[in-house]
Structure 1
Amino acid sequence: MLVGPTVSVVIPVRDDAEHLRRCLDALTAQTRRADEIVVVDNGSRDGSADVARAAGARVVPCAEPGIPAAAATGYDAARSDLILRLDADSIPEPTWIASTVTAFGEEDVDAVTAGAVFHDGPAWGRVLLAVAFLTVYTAFAAPALGHAPLWGSNLAFRRSAWLAVRDQVHRDPELHDDLDLAYHLGERHRIRVGSSRLMRVSWRTVRPGRFAKSFSRGMGTVFAHWPEDIPPARWARLARARLTRTDRPVPHAAIRGSR
């Protein structure tokens, strides 16, 4: 019998059956198995849902287009203490779930995120390009947030933390769901950065056309939180909160009223 928090793994998918099959195979090989795997079918026209069911996953449909809506639907459907999120093209190492659960051993840790290396693409760039991509992402996102960003391909958080912010997150398909979630979780929840060596993802993220689209959505996500979260205002708010409460920042509502 498993001891410790229960674990739900959430995977949004749309028309990505072959990648999903490899991801689910890797989850089956975990040293600490998930209590449930929730695959959110975001209108797939291929066999993604069938692949998920064949692997024993619970398939939850989401008719609203886009990763933000699909991811949120999966988080709402998750039943466990911890929600672990990856993408259909992610391949976790066998100790990914066990290591992630261990990272929540500290009571004040509410979210854990980490990077990855690529499992496909040119062999010479599988580590180099992944490091470069994540360095650029962090350099862009961290100053805007005032703390570490989240990355949806390797992400976990307490279900209680999700319930605290679920009504604030955006579900716009043109925004980045993980960056948006970081804005809201970062207000009053502690984020911890883990090891990148436990996850591999597809290099399609950094292909020129897709990277440009990703960057555009990143900028859109930042602007969606202005003017309340213009960096100097957000930094000052978080700094004041840390001075008044040593554990974690107070929420927006306690400082300037609800949104």
Structure 2
Amino acid sequence: MLAKLYLGAYFTTFRLALATTPLFGSNFFLRRTAWLPVADTVHRSGLKVHDDLDLTIRLTPSHHIAYDPANRVEISFRPFQQPQTFGLRMVRGLATLAKNWPRSSSTLRWRRKLLNLLCA
């Protein structure tokens, strides 16, 4: 129950912040052709970067991220056994958004997404 609540909040919050489905490190596939153009732009230093979110920001909006419920992988329950890690996860998420601000702010991402939908 707690895991579903956490993951639901994670995906809802970051879909709103990123205007796309965020990658989730436990289970995502990435083509080499998608990785190579962004490989040198992702933040690789520091412990306060949420690498999944940073990669999501770097890949989008030029790449499509799709959620496929058929591809399921069980994740560790560790984060729910150590409540102090929730704070660290929050700090990493906010720090990642801040590192990519303003180039990739929520407002700009939603504006681009809506313009793409209107122009399609």
TM range (shorter): 0.7 to 0.9
Q: Is 1:151 matched with 2:34?
A: no
Return 5+ residue gaps in structure 2 as ranges.
none
C-alpha deviations, 1:137-170, integer Å up to 9, x for none?
1122111101111100111111100012112211
Q: Residue 229 of structure 1 aligns to a residue in which SS?
A: coil
Native 8 Å contact 1:138 1:148 kept in 2? yes
Gaps of 5+ in 1: 1-127, 247-259
Which fold has the larger relative contact order, with Cα–Cα distance below 8 Å and residues 6 or more apart in sequence?
A: 2
Report the 3-state secondary structure (helix = DSSP H, G, I; strand = E; otherwise coil) of the residue aligned with 2:25.
Answer: coil
Instruction: Give the ranges of 4+ consecutive aligned residues of structure 1 lying more than 4 Å apart after TM superposition.
Output: none
Q: Give the alignment of 1:72-111 within 5 angstroms.
A: none
Larger helix share, 1 or 2: 2
2:26 is the alignment partner of 1:163? no
Give 3-state SS (helix, strand or coil) of 1:192's partner. Answer: coil
Aligned pairs for 1:44-59 within 5 A: none
In 2: Cα distance, 1:201 partner to 1:238 partner = 31
Q: Is the 8 A contact 2:34 2:59 kept in 1?
A: yes
185 and 152 in structure 1: CA distance in 2 versus 1, 3 angstrom threshold:
same
Change beyond 3 A, Cα 1:135–1:157: same
Q: Give 3-state SS (helix, strand or coil) of 1:214's partner.
A: helix
> Equivalent residues in 2 for 1:1-259 (5 A)?
128-172=1-45, 173-195=47-69, 198-206=72-80, 207-244=82-119, 246=120
Q: Relative to structure 1, is the Cα distance of residues 234 and 197 closer, same or farther in structure 2, using a 3 angstrom cutoff?
A: closer
Higher strand residue share: 1
Matched residue count: 118
The answer on whether the counterparts of 1:179 and 1:221 sit within 8 Å (CA) in structure 2 is: yes
Counterparts in 2 of 1:197 and 1:132: CA distance versus 1, 3 Å: farther
Contact 1:149–1:179 at 8 Å: present in 2 too?
yes
TM-score computed with the length of structure 2 as normaliser: 0.87
RMSD (CA atoms): 1.7
Secondary structure of the equivalent of 1:187? coil
